[in-house]
Amino acid sequence: MKVFRLEEANALIPVVKPLLEDLVRRRRDLAIKLLEADTAQRMAGDAGGAQRAATQARQAEEMQEAVLGLIETVQKHGCIVKDLDLGLVDFPALRNGQLINLCWKMDEQTIGFWHGMDEGFAARKSISRRRK
């Protein structure tokens, strides 16, 4: 696992942000496609309906593979995709010799928060508290 300094993590944001924006968009599109596929499956009463349902299901699978591929691409940089609805990414780092996560949300310009490895978004603390 890569361990980041704050400066390294912030320098990676211009690389990660467009990937995450694409990922969030594709994840929303996938959710819609899954609903369409479910509806098509429920309404597949004839051969034409079954074919439409199969097409919708295949498209959903392809979209899911694309989403998973993008998550992998983001995580190859050493950060961890935590929440696609919030656009949340963690960067492992050290604080006083302890492993923590630098916590970045897609709409933030820079990383301003951190939390413990066993904590989540709700426990975010200001970076200024990190420098004790």
User: Residue 10 — φ and ψ, nearest 5°?
Assistant: -65, -35
Is residue 28 pLDDT above 50, yes or no? yes
Q: How many CB atoms lie within 10 A of CB 129?
A: 10
Indicate the SS3 state at residue 78. Answer: coil
pLDDT tens, residue by residue, 45-98: 766 778 888 898 999 999 999 999 999 999 999 999 999 988 999 999 999 999
- Are 93 and 5 a contacting pair, CB within 8 Å? yes
**What 3-state DSSP class applies to 60?**
helix
Q: Which residues of 94-106 are buried (b: 16+ CB within 10 A; e: fewer)?
A: ebeeeebbbbbbb
Every domain of the chain and the residues it spans = 6-130
Q: What is the DSSP letter of 92?
A: E
**Cα-flanking dihedrals φ and ψ of residue 92, to 5°?**
-60, 140
pTM of the model: 0.85
